[in-house]
Amino acid sequence: MINALVSLNADLASSIAFRYACRLMEHIDMRLQPIHVEEVDRFPPGSGWVRSTWENGLVQTAREEIAQLINAEKADCPPLDATIVRTGEYDDILLHEIENRSYDLLLEGVLNSFHDQLFHKRIRSKLHRFSPAPIIVVKNLVQPANVALLLGESPDVAAVVSTFLKLFSKPEIRVDLIHFTFKMGGQSAFREKISDGDVPIGGEHTSNLLNSAKEMLAEKGWRPRETWEVRDSPEKIGAFLSDYGLAGAALSRNLRRDSLMLDLLSRIASATLLCKK
């Protein structure tokens, strides 16, 4: 069973992430643990019972707000454990929970927006750089039963495919393989579906990469529904992925602010499964 942590606030982004997590439980044998981090800019003067009473009041208020959010959606979700409520710095608290309780997955919500600064900030945060567990970032409420595995370089295969197989133990959903490269300079864009026996435009490198992914999937009883080779801008590749409910991608821990991969991820409208390589 997958032990998953879902980060919740009393807002729309968390409501969408929670509902998506509940839908994901239809496809993954998963125990879902809600958590809320109440970030505190400053503590009141004093210590001892004064501070303790203040913190207890803060935690109780937060617990009631998250309970309201969960109760509004609980008809579509299996029974859950009581929400964990912590006070402190968001990234530090979640890293501590993931590391000390051995969670296999974290889900958090970020609203889809034309202004992608918030998304960029989250992906480059301490939590995303150092989390030992993969993270699903949910932007819109979609059905997660249609998955794209994004493969750009050879190291992506082990990171993305192995993470997918760990989460989805039964071959009951649609999964597609997509080898992507970014269009540079005067290069031409293309989008080609690859059938068995076809020679990819990218030649031997693309063939070897896709065959490695197929072999890993086949060992666990999976067969990709479709295989694609795409070269285009981050905007166009993001639009191509609009019909998928989940896109798996590999990220390095030191992602640059001007990274084309970061640009692509910000343009995927549904949910992204971020795996470290």
pLDDT tens across 212-233, in order?
Answer: 999 999 999 999 999 999 999 9
Q: What CATH architecture is 146-276? A: 3-Layer(aba) Sandwich (3.40)
Homologous superfamily (CATH) of 2-138 is HUPs (3.40.50.620)
- Two tokens, residue 138: 């949910």
Domain with CATH 3.40.50.620 in the chain: 2-138, 146-276
- Taking all residues of the chain, what is their mean pLDDT, rounded to a whole number? 90
Q: How far apart are CA 117 and CA 257, in angstroms?
A: 10
113: pLDDT strictly greater than 60: yes
Reported as a single tens digit per residue, the pLDDT across 42-101 is 555 555 665 566 566 677 888 888 988 888 877 678 888 889 999 889 999 999 999 999
Q: In the chain, pLDDT over 70 holds for what percent of residues?
A: 93
Q: What's the mean pLDDT in 140-168?
A: 95
More confident residue, 149 or 154: 149
pLDDT category, 171, cuts 50, 70, 90? Answer: confident
